[in-house]
Chains A and B, each alone.
Chain A
Amino acid sequence: MSLWGWCMMLAGLLAGVAWPVSAAVEQHDSCVTCHVATGDARLMRPVEAFRADIHAARGFSCVACHGGDPQEPGMEAMDPAKGYIGIPQRQDLPQVCGHCHSDAQFMKRYNPALRVDQVSEYYTSAHGRRLKAFNDPKVATCVSCHPAHTIRAASDPASSVHPMRVAEMCGRCHADAIYMQSYGIPTDQLQQYQESVHWHTLSVQGDLAAPTCNTCHGNHGVAPPGVSWVGNICGQCHAVQADFFNHSAHAAILVTLGVPGCTVCHTNHAIKATTDAMLGLGAGAVCTTCHSTADTGGKVAVEMRQRLDTLQQAYGQAHDILLRAEHAGMEVSQAQFELQEGQTALIKARAAIHTFMVATVQEAIEPGLSVSTNAYERGVKALDELRFRRTGLGVSVLIILAIIVGLRAKIRQLERRETHRLRPGDDIPKS
């Protein structure tokens, strides 16, 4: 090794960090040179793949993770005495990555906003705990989610951890029944999730804020949510419903029963878009899981559903009649403007059912019923007015037509009279 190479190695070790390699140095990177020169696809693949890796873009090279001395032209570059570790062992991976990623001072130079607790979080996860305790060869480590040599920023749509691709990435193991056989946990989460409203919102509507696996399970500290935390997790987005629920009678009872709050009615992975049919004791109602017509809870559910239906019906009728009037050319914009309050009341009432109290639901419904009734009456008046105008128009047209016909007849009569008068020898008709 040249003196310059030794100096570089020493400087790196003293700094306690892997060193970025400038473009000029990269040209002399013996790792790249040799791996490409072999012509062996297996050895060339990582070199070629690494070109698109975010670490390469930031100036890092092979030695950042594999150690060694890239200034050495031959196999001496892979001397363990020079820090060469080759392919890191699975159980060592968190430390290899954490060497830089847990160093706040170092990471600040590249991405000041990036968290630096991934490794400590990882060891709290179901994956990390099993790796530490059993050196489980199947649990996920850093490279399971951030594939070595092709790591990209999470915001990059091509990244395996981009929100649109997280479910697919987790599913590579968790949807594989054979791979997961020894753990005795379900493997249909991905399939269920891909039927959920959350996946639809994310993948079809393109809303990247919609939840995917790591939203509820965490990412580096991934673990199933505890029974008593589920409400907190759902409440991250569904804050109003969670607040109503946490103050309801159900909150404490469900924890006592050992069942997670929200998921009892909404399930966990296959969460569907909610409908009013879920409330009450009819077909498709989730309340029937615990309640019947014989208990107070069942009666409250039926009562809340009836009130919601009343508002839904009143709002729907008002909306439809105003739309008909609008299509017919009537000016009903003021009524439509005011009816928007009905929609707001309906949404508020649907959130208020999480209090499981009829009075609270009714309180939310009242303003909506009032504006809906008023808007419907204005719609009826608008259509009455339309009917009156149409009748008037029809009568006017008939009158105009009658006048035209009369005029025509009169003209013909005058013409005939004129003809008779002009003919010599003809008698003038007597009137």
Chain B
Amino acid sequence: MVTEIQEPEETRRHWLTWFLSTSVGLFLIAVLYPVSRYLMPPQIEESPARTARLAVTPVEVKPNSGQIFKFGSRPGLLIRTPSGELRAFSAICTHLACIVQYRPDLGHIWCACHNGHFDLNGKNITGPPPRPLERYIVKVQQERIVVSLDA
């Protein structure tokens, strides 16, 4: 009689043990996998920012002026052309990676390190820079300037 009573109990207990063990095992995997991934991060750089919402409003950027802004970890250059158009470029000179600036007296972009000049399209027009500046897309959304990478 005892044996007949204990059989279903044994089966249920084994099933419970199996269930708990599996759950704990899965829980451990779920905890330890991200932990191990966190402790051993991949040796690759984070992808650069694709979009930046600038602190300045469009009206604060006067015509024939420019200013540096943070685009991810790199500097960007926002300019408003004399005709009033907002444009943005990478502020890193294509020659030796100095930071370029907008020169209102010249009406275009200039690199102080080796006298490199870029026009208002970012094209290298004189001096040692070998390539144009990377150009970004500028949009105004809800009175804020949003700069993003060209698709």
Chain A interface (Cβ < 8 Å from any Cβ of B) = 201, 205, 207, 209-210, 237-241, 323, 326-329, 332-334, 336-337, 340-341, 343-344, 347-348, 351, 390, 393, 397, 400-401, 404, 408, 411, 415, 419, 422-424
List, sorted by A's number, 6 A–B pairs whose CB atoms are closer than 8 Å: A239-B127, A334-B70, A337-B73, A340-B97, A348-B113, A408-B20
CA distance A135 to B113 in the complex (A): 48
Name the distance in Å between B88's Cβ and chain A's nearest Cβ.
Answer: 15
Chain B interface (Cβ < 8 Å from any Cβ of A) = 2, 6, 9, 13, 16, 20, 24, 27-28, 31-32, 35, 38-39, 41-46, 49, 70, 72-75, 92, 96-99, 112-115, 127-128, 130-131
Residue contact A397 to B31, C-beta cutoff 8 Å: yes
Residue contact B31 to A400, C-beta cutoff 8 Å: yes
Chain B residues in 8 Å Cβ range of A201: 130
Q: Which interface residue of A241, A328, A344, A348 has the most chain B CB atoms within 10 A?
A: A344
CA distance A240 to B110 in the complex (A): 13
Contact A336/B73 with A209-B130, A327-B41 known, Cβ cut-off 8 Å: yes
CA distance A237 to B131 in the complex (A): 14
Residue contact A340 to B75, C-beta cutoff 8 Å: yes
Chain A residues in 8 Å Cβ range of B6: 423
Residue contact B92 to A340, C-beta cutoff 8 Å: yes
Chain A residues in 8 Å Cβ range of B35: 393, 397
Name the distance in Å between B57's Cβ and chain A's nearest Cβ.
Answer: 21
Residue contact A415 to B70, C-beta cutoff 8 Å: no
Name the distance in Å between A350's Cβ and chain B's nearest Cβ.
Answer: 9
Chain B residues in 8 Å Cβ range of A400: 31
Residue contact B128 to A238, C-beta cutoff 8 Å: yes
CA distance A400 to B70 in the complex (A): 41
Residue contact B45 to A326, C-beta cutoff 8 Å: yes
Closest A-B pairs by Cβ, 3 of them: A336-B73, A333-B73, A207-B130
Residue contact B92 to A424, C-beta cutoff 8 Å: no
Chain B residues in 8 Å Cβ range of A424: 2
Residue contact B45 to A327, C-beta cutoff 8 Å: yes
Residue contact A333 to B72, C-beta cutoff 8 Å: yes
In the complex formed, the residue of B with least CB distance to A393 is: B35
CA distance A147 to B44 in the complex (A): 53
CA distance A107 to B42 in the complex (A): 63
CA distance A341 to B130 in the complex (A): 21
Residue contact B74 to A337, C-beta cutoff 8 Å: yes
Name the distance in Å between B128's Cβ and chain A's nearest Cβ.
Answer: 5
Residue contact B128 to A344, C-beta cutoff 8 Å: no
Residue contact B44 to A327, C-beta cutoff 8 Å: yes
